[in-house]
Amino acid sequence: MAQTFKVGHLPSITWNRLHLNEASVETALSGNLPGSRYLSLPQGASVRTLSFAQALAELEKTAPVQEQEKYVAGKAPVYHPQKFGTGLGADYEQAMQDAGVPVEWIEIGPAEQEQTITCRMTLQDGESASCAQILHVGENAQVTALYVSESAEDAAGVLALSVRAVLEKGASLKLALVQLLGSGFTALSDVGLSAADGAGAELIQMELGADRSYVGVQPELIGKEASFDSAMGYLANGEQRLDINYNAVQRGRQTRCAMTFDGVLGDRAQKVFRGTIDFRNGSSGSKGEEQENVLLLSNDVENRTMPVILCEEEDVEGSHGATIGRLDEQVLFYLATRGIDAAEAQKMMVRARLGAVARRIPDEAARHRAQDYIDRKVNCDTCVRAADCPQAWNEKGSTGEKS
């Protein structure tokens, strides 16, 4: 049964007049895991399956101090309070809970070798599925976590994803979310992170498919010198709609946050981007930056952007930058004098821009799939492909499970 809920709210209501404070989603969430899912965990990891309510109760212990929530900068109240913040927010959390989505709680401690979580979801046409995980990354542990969702090119369905990570002191997490779903999908992807002293998260997110797509990311840099570094890439054409909400909350002293967003919009695609850097009381000496680059391939796209920087501290440095526009005429002429026509130039630029993000995906097969997906979507018949790149997934997982 379809329901409507709000996702991806701005932390303040500065932009209310534009009615873009949040997105409204109409869909039916399912309590089922994807029918075809490959999950591989590192050797020493443990996993428990909890109800959403149980998981939230346990998470609360790691939630930021409530008292601080009263002093949200921007002078507006947090109107969607959440104990452990995520980018899509409280309504989405509630919807998942109501749908009975189970939560997999994964504990990972430090280890000698690199530890990798791989979660690959292959959805069928008409399938509605959810996947919620909480990663508890122990002190000084180093973890890579990869989530890839795929389906047939023209398949339809719903995938609701939720990944929360609690990073203890000195922990580091490299998180990659790669969405390669078919053209009829509604894709929801929600991330919440908390980082203790010296902990660092790197996020690579690619939104390449689906019809409607909602992504939210909220890193909370709680400890001293905690950091967040993200690269997001998206490609939307046809009638695709994409809603992005990144909300970096910098609470600790000398925290660092750097977020880049590289996108391509074609045809009649619509995109809303909210990117907030929120310096809270106590975040002195912190730096935060966001940079958005959007390539517009048609005049009919709708590209809306709301960068917000909130400061409760004096001694912080926040910046945002944006380059948004069509391919430059002079550049097109330059490339043309080398024999490259406008259509090919456009494809090259799309591949170059998104390829730079795809290259950061920490898995060769996933990287290749993303690149391939881009090539297909820009219908690139002459693109060069690395001959020696494996087409097939590497199924070597220490505790791989196929469900």
Partner 1 sequence: MSEPLLQIRNLCASIEEGELLHNINLEIRPGETHVLMGPNGAGKSTLGNTIMGSPVYKVTGGSIFFDGQDITDLSADKRAAAGLFMSFQNPLEVPGLSMESFLRNAIRQRTGKPIKILTFKRELEETMKLLQMDESYAERDLNVGFSGGEKKKAEILQLLMLRPRLAILDETDSGLDVDAVRTVSMGIEEYQKKRGGALLVITHSTRILDSLDVDYTHVLVRGQIVRTGDASLVKEINEGGFERYANEKEA
Q: Closest distance between partner 1 and the C-beta of residue 275, in Å?
A: 21
In the structure encoding, which two tokens stand for residue 3, read together? 């329901």
Q: Closest distance between partner 1 and the C-beta of residue 293, in Å?
A: 9
Specify whether the CB–CB gap between 266 and 237 falls below 8 A.
yes
Q: Which is nearer to partner 1, 34 or 233 (CB)?
A: 233
Concatenated DSSP letters of 328-372: PHHHHHHHHTTT--HHHHHHHHHHHHHHHHHTTSS-HHHHHHHHH
Q: Which is nearer to partner 1, 134 or 348 (CB)?
A: 348
Q: Which is nearer to partner 1, 337 or 391 (CB)?
A: 337
Which positions touch partner 1 (CB under 8 A)?
328-331, 333-342, 344, 348-349, 352-353, 356, 382, 384
Q: Which is nearer to partner 1, 197 or 344 (CB)?
A: 344
Q: Closest distance between partner 1 and the C-beta of residue 339, in Å?
A: 4
Distances (CA, A) of 235 to 271, 313, 377: 10, 36, 9
Q: Closest distance between partner 1 and the C-beta of residue 332, in Å?
A: 9
Q: Closest distance between partner 1 and the C-beta of residue 209, in Å?
A: 22
Residue with tokens 């979507």: 377
Angle between helices 364-377 and 342-358 (to 10 degrees): 160
Concatenated DSSP letters of 9-34: --SS-TTGGGT-SSEEEEE---SPPP
Phi and psi, residue 61, nearest 5°: -60, -30
Q: Which is nearer to partner 1, 341 or 364 (CB)?
A: 341
**Which residue type occupies 268?**
R
Q: Closest distance between partner 1 and the C-beta of residue 271, in Å?
A: 19
Q: Which is nearer to partner 1, 71 or 333 (CB)?
A: 333
Phi-psi group of 185: left, alpha or beta (phi > 0 → left; psi -120 to 50 → alpha; rest → beta): beta
Residue with tokens 């690959």: 120
Q: Closest distance between partner 1 and the C-beta of residue 294, in Å?
A: 13
